[in-house]
Amino acid sequence: MSEQDAELIEEVAQPGDATEIVLADRYRILPDSPISELGTPGAKAYVARDLKSPNEFLFARVCEPGVFPRVESMVQLKKLREVYAITPEDWNPITWPLTGNRCFGIVFRRPEGVAVMPTLASKIQKFDSETLVKSLLNPALTTLQIFERRKVTHRAIRPDNVFRMGAESTVFFLGECVSVPPSWGQSTIFETIESSMAPPTGRGKGNIADDIYALGATMLFLGLGFCPVVSMNERELLQAKIEKGSFAALISGEVAPPGLREPLRGMLSDDPLDRWTIEDLQNWVGGTLRRSARPMREYKTDRPYRFKDREYRNTRSIASLFGANWKAAAKELRSKEFDKWLNRGILDSSLIEDVTETIVSSSAGDDGGDAKLVTRVCALFDPEGPLRYKGLSVMPDGVGYALSSAVETGDKATIDLITEVVHKGIASEWFEHKVQYGRSDLTLEAKTFKRLQQFVRHAGPGYGVERVLYELNPFMPCRSKMIASSYVYSLRDLLPALDDIVAKTGKLPTLMDRHIAAFIASRISGSIDGQLSALEHSSGTSASSKIGMLGLLAKVQYEYQNQMTPHMTAWLVKELQPAIKRYYSRTLRSKIAERVEQIGTTGNLMDLYHVLSNENVIKRDERGKNAAKREYMQSQREIRRLESSEFQVQAKKTGWSIAAGISMCIGALTTVVVFSW
Amino acid sequence: MAKVSKAPVRKKRPGKFKIMFMVCCALGVLLAALPSVVVIIVGMVPTLVAYIIDLTPGRYAARCVFGLNIAGTVPYLEKLWSSTNDMPAAVAIVTDVYTWLVFYLAAGVGWMLFLGLPGLVTQFKTYAAKRKAQTLRDRLEELRKEWGKEVTGASSDDEDEEDEETKDALDNRADEPAPASMTPARQGAA
């Protein structure tokens, strides 16, 4: 134990100061003690201590605003000891004293050893093949196998994120992977061609084949003792990977570590179907032969394709180019020159047929038709590549991350494009196309995007692009401006956060908030269609929209029944006074007002919602009003009749009738009496 | 289906013979009961006059006079029939001044009934109608107070009492779908 560490232990034992951060009531984070070597772009590292066992060495990653960690992966990896990777001990949103913002903190066990390669630019003593297999490949395979079983990917395997277990240990383990989105800050050196074609925010969590690729590249550089392509820019490297293949591009003419050439070639294969799997690698380590060779997908063209004064000899490059220049590409695709090149330059007759059919069946002239055409042709030219639409490029599972990043940075163009992709069914169609071409693992995504399409078709609160955002990012904190600084990523924290705002400021800036509605709609269990429908069919400031929003909040309180919100309920009672006036009956109004005042002190939103939107009472009130209207009209008619001149005439007639009747009776009676006497 | 004859049904007019027969019968009866006819004709003159001058719809004046006029005539008919029932007896009755007094007094009471009773009835009915109208007005006021001016059929623009928020609430209510009910276990308390 170093002197510095001993000092830190003493410091932990002392009572905390004002800047002390305690996570989950157990882990103390020291903002004054950053650890630069354990930091990563988007999440800095700090010394942390376990208050229950102060001797344990921990570190905490504190995510920067706008960086959303992989909470779903944390849940799977929490305190997982059988993997050779840094796994999270605990996590929670914290108030970071250096910025004053709420952000996400994650506590990990601190590696005793250092990174095997401090930076990618470093030159180190090269590792021999045996050491690489025993120290890195074997532990990594065990780890990735467990990850695969738990449906988690690492997506941050690189030499500077691989650590020795102890200072002199010969066992390596993988660094942490959950504090930033997948592939965030990962150099394209360690990304497959298809992943490199998408921006870092749109790469998605990928699959275990992506991790094997990154592990292959890591092993290659550790075997060489340096990274030969560190100085290449991303575009050049991608072009080199496409033209020469990843293995050749990454090794850059160096000599592969002896004995590792075959597995490294397999791990760095550019065809995911051909890339070695965990089982293949385990077989190779065990000395048995790997699987038989599989047919490689051919991307090379027979003749070069000329576009914008450059020649391209690979359909993947052409797809990438078309994706980036979609308007020009749409014109090009409908030109005779392209048709000529397609029939002469590509050997795969089924591809020619598919592309020709796509072009012929597309509608020319409008932007939508052009964009769709380019998207479809790109998918045919590069089946493994990202979804390309009007310049947007995202991997199948990267749409959610891309959208969250766009929302965070206020990139309206990307938000609109993603909305369009979902709304016009381009994403679901793209996934269905992939499923048709054998990617059965994308069936779920195809269904998901069909469902999302329905959400985007509705314009009301609780739907739209906000709903898509929260559906695709299940642990994304609510981005409502009201509570953005509170880092509310679970529905459990929503009501306390809103109640806090009312307690501090006396009111909410607005009750109706699209982000909050969408956040609740995507997180809550059970149906809330009624409340969402009420919101959709009412204007933003109307009483019914406020009632609809109250209904959503009441649903949340129903799910977390111990969360009473006295401040917010009291404010809502004032805010919803117009809602009481929706009732026609004055007696009912005063009764409801009295009841609402009582509820205002209890903090019970469910009761408030029920009182203000009781369907039976509303119907009874409506019926009562209609009956009163009828009665009013009848009474008015009756008064008019009673005061009319016709009534006087009628009365006179009645008088005459009576007089005549009396007279006749007297006459008859007299006759009877006289003759019967 | 039997054919329905479209020819208009001819109304059988009483034949000349029948008319003649009826006239003869009437004359027969007139001659046979001439004393009674004389008394009735003389005694019912006020009714005849009332019938002629009565302009009310339904001839209520004539009816009123007739009832009491007959009541005044019947005793003399009975007197005639219980005596010799001949013309001299009838003439004796109709030339008696007290008999005339009774005929006309009875008819006069009939006229008084006709002239006086409707006024009383109208007065009574008007009074009852006023009371009923007042009760209805009170009810209208109650309805207005309970349900607002909308119940009168006035448009929301006319509602000076209602503030803007109420108007807004009323406007919004129309397009508001029925709210989804919450679980009754917790809401029952409300």
Q: What is the pLDDT of residue B163?
A: 45
Phi and psi for A163 in degrees, rounded to 5?
-120, 155
* Farthest-apart Cα atoms in chain B, separation: 106
Rounded Cα–Cα distance for residues A61 and A226 (Å): 27
Sequence-separated (6 or more) residues with CB below 8 Å from residue A44: A34, A61, A62, A64
CB contact under 8 A, B166 and A577: no
Percent of chain A exceeding pLDDT 90 equals: 54
Compare CB distances from B66 to A642, A658, A667 and report the shortest one's residue: A667
Phi and psi for A40 in degrees, rounded to 5?
-140, 155
H or E element at residue A33:
strand A27-34
Sign (positive/negative) of CA torsion A537, A540, A543, A548? positive
Q: Find the residue in A nearest to B146 (Cα).
A: A586
Phi and psi for A58 in degrees, rounded to 5?
-130, 160
Rounded Cα–Cα distance for residues A595 and A601 (Å): 11
Burial of A413 (0-12, 13-18, 19+ CB in 10 A): exposed
Residues A162 and A176 sit within 8 Å (Cβ to Cβ)? no
Lowest mean pLDDT among A136-140, A358-362, B178-182: B178-182
Sign (positive/negative) of CA torsion A479, A480, A483, A485? positive
CB contact under 8 A, A539 and B172: yes
Q: Which of A426-430, A569-573, A575-579, B182-186 has the highest mean pLDDT?
A: A569-573
Give mean pLDDT, residues A585-592. Answer: 93
CB contact under 8 A, A651 and B126: yes
List the structure tokens of A316: 């993947």
Residues of chain B with C-beta less than 8 angstroms from the C-beta of A618:
178-179
H or E element at residue B166:
helix B164-174
Residues A288 and A274 sit within 8 Å (Cβ to Cβ)? no
Q: What is residue A24's three-state secondary structure?
A: coil
Rounded Cα–Cα distance for residues B190 and B187 (Å): 5
pLDDT (tens digit per residue) in A368-416: 788 989 999 999 998 888 999 999 999 878 899 999 999 988 999 999 9
Helices A138-149 and A278-285 pack at an angle, to 10 degrees, of 150
* pLDDT surpassing 70 at residue A601: yes
Q: What is the pLDDT of residue B158?
A: 47
Q: Across all residues in chain A, what is the average pLDDT?
A: 88
Give mean pLDDT, residues B157-184. Answer: 43
Percent of chain B exceeding pLDDT 90 equals: 53
Residue A290 has, within 13 A of its CA and on its CB side, a CA count of: 19
Percent of chain A exceeding pLDDT 70 equals: 94
CB contact under 8 A, B117 and A595: no
* pLDDT surpassing 80 at residue A616: yes
Rounded Cα–Cα distance for residues A175 and A439 (Å): 30
Rounded Cα–Cα distance for residues A485 and A493 (Å): 12
More confident residue, A168 or A520: A520
pLDDT (tens digit per residue) in A317-353: 899 889 989 999 998 898 898 999 999 888 888 889 9
Sequence-separated (6 or more) residues with CB below 8 Å from residue A505: none
Q: What is the pLDDT of residue A675?
A: 87
For the residues of A236-254, what is the DSSP string, one character each?
A: HHHHHHHHH-HHHHHHTTP
Rounded Cα–Cα distance for residues A110 and A56 (Å): 9
Rounded Cα–Cα distance for residues A377 and A370 (Å): 11
Outline where B33-163 has alpha helix (H): 34-43, 45-53, 60-82, 87-94, 97-147
- Interchain CB contact of B69 with A (< 8 Å): yes
Burial of A311 (0-12, 13-18, 19+ CB in 10 A): exposed
H or E element at residue A126:
none
More confident residue, A34 or B159: A34
Q: What is the pLDDT of residue A366?
A: 62
Residues of chain A with C-beta less than 8 angstroms from the C-beta of B125:
647, 651, 654
Q: What is the pLDDT of residue B166?
A: 44
Q: What is the pLDDT of residue B84?
A: 86
Q: Which of A191, A185, A220, A217 is nearest to A206 (CA)?
A: A191
Compare CB distances from A648 to B68, B122, B168 and report the shortest one's residue: B122
* pLDDT surpassing 70 at residue A11: no
ipTM greater than 0.85: no
CB pairs under 8 A between A and B: 226
Give mean pLDDT, residues A450-461. Answer: 90
Rounded Cα–Cα distance for residues A646 and A625 (Å): 32
Q: Which of A523, A535, A519 is nearest to A480 (CA)?
A: A519
Q: What is the pLDDT of residue A3?
A: 52
- Interchain CB contact of A142 with B (< 8 Å): no
Q: Which of B58, B46, B140 is nearest to A635 (CA)?
A: B140
**Amino acid letter, A437:** Y
Q: What is the pLDDT of residue B89?
A: 92
- Interchain CB contact of A520 with B (< 8 Å): no
pLDDT (tens digit per residue) in A630-671: 999 999 999 999 999 999 899 999 999 999 999 999 999 999
Q: Which of 621-650 (A) contact B at CB < 8 A?
A: 624-625, 628-629, 631-633, 635-636, 638-639, 642-643, 647-648
List the structure tokens of B49: 């006059």
List the structure tokens of A436: 């048709």
Give mean pLDDT, residues A135-144. Answer: 95
| Residue ranges of E strands in A35-188 | 43-50, 57-63, 88-95, 102-109, 162-164, 172-174
Rounded Cα–Cα distance for residues A545 and A551 (Å): 10
Q: What is the pLDDT of residue B9?
A: 55
Rounded Cα–Cα distance for residues A564 and A499 (Å): 9
Instruction: Check residue A523 and give left, alpha or beta (phi > 0: left; psi -120 to 50: alpha).
Output: alpha
- Interchain CB contact of A582 with B (< 8 Å): yes
**Amino acid letter, B144:** R
Rounded Cα–Cα distance for residues A399 and A529 (Å): 26
Phi and psi for A61 in degrees, rounded to 5?
-100, 130
Q: Which of A298-307, B3-12, B46-55 has the highest mean pLDDT?
A: B46-55
List the structure tokens of A293: 């060779």
First-to-last alpha carbon distance for chain B, in angstroms, is 72
Sequence-separated (6 or more) residues with CB below 8 Å from residue A619: B178
Q: What is the pLDDT of residue B3?
A: 45
- Interchain CB contact of B113 with A (< 8 Å): yes
Q: What is residue A50's three-state secondary structure?
A: strand
For the residues of A270-295, what is the DSSP string, one character each?
A: SSTTTS--HHHHHHHHTT---PPP-P
Beta-carbon count within 10 A of A667 CB: 22
Radius of gyration of chain A (CA): 36
Rounded Cα–Cα distance for residues A259 and B112 (Å): 141
H or E element at residue A394:
strand A392-394
Rounded Cα–Cα distance for residues A520 and A214 (Å): 37
Residues A330 and A343 sit within 8 Å (Cβ to Cβ)? no
Q: Across all residues in chain B, what is the average pLDDT?
A: 79
pTM: 0.75
Give mean pLDDT, residues B20-33. Answer: 87
Rounded Cα–Cα distance for residues A440 and A426 (Å): 18
Q: Which of A135-149, A171-185, A325-339 has the highest mean pLDDT?
A: A135-149
More confident residue, B14 or A262: A262
Residues of chain B with C-beta less than 8 angstroms from the C-beta of A578:
165-166, 168-169
Sign (positive/negative) of CA torsion A536, A539, A541, A542? negative
Q: What is the pLDDT of residue A422?
A: 92
Residues of chain A with C-beta less than 8 angstroms from the C-beta of B143:
628, 631-632, 635
First-to-last alpha carbon distance for chain A, in angstroms, is 145
* pLDDT surpassing 90 at residue A108: yes
- Interchain CB contact of B139 with A (< 8 Å): yes
Distances (CA, A) of B142 to A585, A586, A587, A593, B137: 11, 11, 11, 21, 9
List the structure tokens of A281: 């690698």
Residues of chain A with C-beta less than 8 angstroms from the C-beta of B40:
none
Q: What is the pLDDT of residue B122?
A: 92
Give mean pLDDT, residues B63-82. Answer: 93
pLDDT (tens digit per residue) in A183-220: 888 999 999 999 999 988 888 888 899 999 999 999 99
Phi and psi for A34 in degrees, rounded to 5?
-70, 150
Q: Which of A426, A396, A392, A386 is nearest to A197 (CA)?
A: A386
* pLDDT surpassing 50 at residue B169: no
- Which residues are registered as beta bridge partners of A387? A394
Q: What is the pLDDT of residue A145?
A: 95
| Best of A598, A663, A666, A670 to mutate (most B CBs within 10 Å, chain B) | A663
- Which residues are registered as beta bridge partners of A393? A388
* pLDDT surpassing 80 at residue A541: no
List the structure tokens of A117: 């390669």
- Which residues are registered as beta bridge partners of A88? A108
